[in-house]
Structure 1
Amino acid sequence: MPFSSPHLSSLYRYPLKSCAGEALEHALVGDEGLAGDRRFMLARPDGRFVTARTHPRLELMQVQTDDEVLVLRFPGQVALELARSAFDRAPFATEVWGDRFEALTTTREADAWCSDVLEEPVHLLCLDDRSPRYRPSIGQRVGFADGYPLLLIGEGSLDDLNARLGPSQDKPHRMAQFRPNLVVAGSAAFAEDGWRRLRIGEVELGVAEPCARCAMITVDPATGRFLPGKEPLKTLATYRRGDEGKVLFGQNLVVLKEGRLALGDEVEILA
């Protein structure tokens, strides 16, 4: 079937690592990704980071923030509103997938609120305008994201996956399960596998490598619980395994030119 010109159909950021996504109409993109994306993270007292891989209920936490205020919401909890000027901002040693660096503390009140949600002691950490985490493998700074500034997925790729649903899967999988920043409509299934350099709005992006998927995609964002049967990871494993045996879905991006992008912007394939 014919496809319309590829264009940006959805845009998401995740202020807190593993929290609910925030749908945007436009965004500024710097070398570390979308402005405000994954600038907060939860960590245990020993510095180990916490995600929905082990705490799926984190995906029910909604986080709103700007230059002045941070607001945290979770079902059954009284919302917490904090002035960012009140953050302690003390250095705190942490790590993300082997990258060791110092983030900053927020407040004891925030730590207590998040600890109540997760039912174990955690600290709510933040980053300055420039992250101290530098990844030599991509030659860029990155915030609390797993490894790359941005993740892109084509709608056609999700449609292809849902077309393969077995009789035990009674509803289609949602894009929110895969936690992309950029969603592209108007392209064939997995067309993004062949893209190397893109322009969207003012922004130029390099495709670094496919995104290897894990149990995170089996969390239902609507319930904060794991889906039965290890789906959709199980189905993806039947046809989306890479050379190293990893299950691949979506493309990790690096930022080549900063700027602004918005919903509806054409996705130009430069290479």
Structure 2
Amino acid sequence: MPILTELNLYPVKSCAGIALREAVVTPAGLMVEQIYDREWMVVDLSGNFMTQREYPRMALIVPRIKADTLELRAPGMLRLEVPLGLPAPEDERTLEVRVWGETIRAYDCDETTATWFSNFLGTPCRLVRFHADAKRTASAEWTGDTEAPTLFSDGFPMLVISQESLDDLNGKLQAQGRQKLPMNRFRPNIVISGAGAFEEDHAEHIRIGDALLKPVKPCARCGIPSIDQASGEAGADPLDVMQTYRTNARVGGGVAFGMNTILLEGEGQVLRIGQEVDVRIAF
């Protein structure tokens, strides 16, 4: 039977992730220590979201959740501590920010934090946090009758990939004399092993313990898989190989790898590395 082999939380959108041994699953995605996936985001001075697509050095910003702060480290920078507690209503500063055309209310972090990010990324920017009163949901075109909340993700609360899918791609890359890619190039939240290559594409449901997940939309890929997550530098783009066998009409002929996924049952359940995973194929 397949097993759960990776759980990854990305506290700051497009920055490095945190590999977890266990995490709470919620309708809005994975959570640990009351911190959600993509709860923070870097924006330009117009409030538009910033990602590794344009700023690959974001991969080098490494978060760690401590008792009462989100610690951020980056090469050549002093350690930054961002408070985990929300500001009192009378003290909060807010911004209207944008993710793929959606406008969302967010807490604006302080000037020290803005300067830290601006200096490291080499452009004026700010760090924002999803507001407690904000609401954002995944597209009902894909989720149907299930309302799936999400924070600053590109559109869905969780991304699931099987190890065998990556193995299949790496086999094709190696056949052309190219290097294998690590899973972190594709930034999944959940990785399963033993399911068979691209079995997640055809899954009606994925059950992990008492949590029932539903893959709803193939993840159309941009150029981020070409960015080395350890160096923050762009390298050979695997999309040319992926285009030969991973184009998907469901996402307008884009190259798909991994499945955007929502939670149907089991809110608050703890997922743990090593758990058995039941992948139910849709017939």
Q: TM-score, normalised by structure 2?
A: 0.88
Match of 1:102 in 2: 105
Contact 1:27 1:261 in 2 (8 A): yes
The percent of aligned pairs where both chains have the same amino acid is: 36
Match of 2:253 in 1: 245
Match of 2:137 in 1: 134
**What is the rounded CA distance, in whole Å, between the counterparts of 2:40 and 2:86 in structure 1?**
15
Q: Deviations over 1:236-258 (max 9, x none)?
A: 01110011210010011011121
Q: Is 1:202 the equivalent of 2:202?
A: no
Q: Matches of residues 1-271 of structure 1 in structure 2 within 5 Å?
A: 5-35=1-31, 36-66=36-66, 68-85=68-85, 89-128=92-131, 131-137=134-140, 138=143, 139-165=147-173, 169-228=177-236, 231-243=237-249, 244-257=252-265, 258=267, 259-270=269-280
How far the C-alpha of 1:184 sits from its partner, in A, is: 0.6
Contact 1:131 1:142 in 2 (8 A): no
How far the C-alpha of 1:188 sits from its partner, in A, is: 1.1
How far the C-alpha of 1:140 sits from its partner, in A, is: 2.2
How far the C-alpha of 1:168 sits from its partner, in A, is: 6.2
Matched residue SS, 1:140 = coil
How far the C-alpha of 1:86 sits from its partner, in A, is: 7.8
Indicate the RMSD between aligned Cα atoms, in angstroms.
Answer: 1.8
**What is the rounded CA distance, in whole Å, between the counterparts of 2:83 and 2:256 in structure 1?**
40
How far the C-alpha of 1:197 sits from its partner, in A, is: 1.1
Contact 2:174 2:180 in 1 (8 A): no
With over 3 angstroms needed to count, the CA separation of the structure-2 counterparts of 1:199 and 1:168, relative to structure 1, is closer
Moved more, 261-270 or 83-92: 83-92
Matched residue SS, 1:268 = strand
**What is the rounded CA distance, in whole Å, between the counterparts of 1:74 and 1:247 in structure 2?**
31
With over 3 angstroms needed to count, the CA separation of the structure-2 counterparts of 1:267 and 1:130, relative to structure 1, is farther
Matched residue SS, 2:115 = helix
Report the residue type matching 1:46 in the other structure. S
Q: Deviations over 1:73-124 (max 9, x none)?
A: 0011111123334856322101111221111112111111001011111110
**What is the rounded CA distance, in whole Å, between the counterparts of 2:157 and 2:84 in structure 1?**
24
Q: TM-score, normalised by structure 1?
A: 0.92
Report the residue type matching 1:233 in the other structure. L
**What is the rounded CA distance, in whole Å, between the counterparts of 1:66 and 1:248 in structure 2?**
35
How far the C-alpha of 1:135 sits from its partner, in A, is: 3.6
**What is the rounded CA distance, in whole Å, between the counterparts of 1:265 and 1:166 in structure 2?**
31
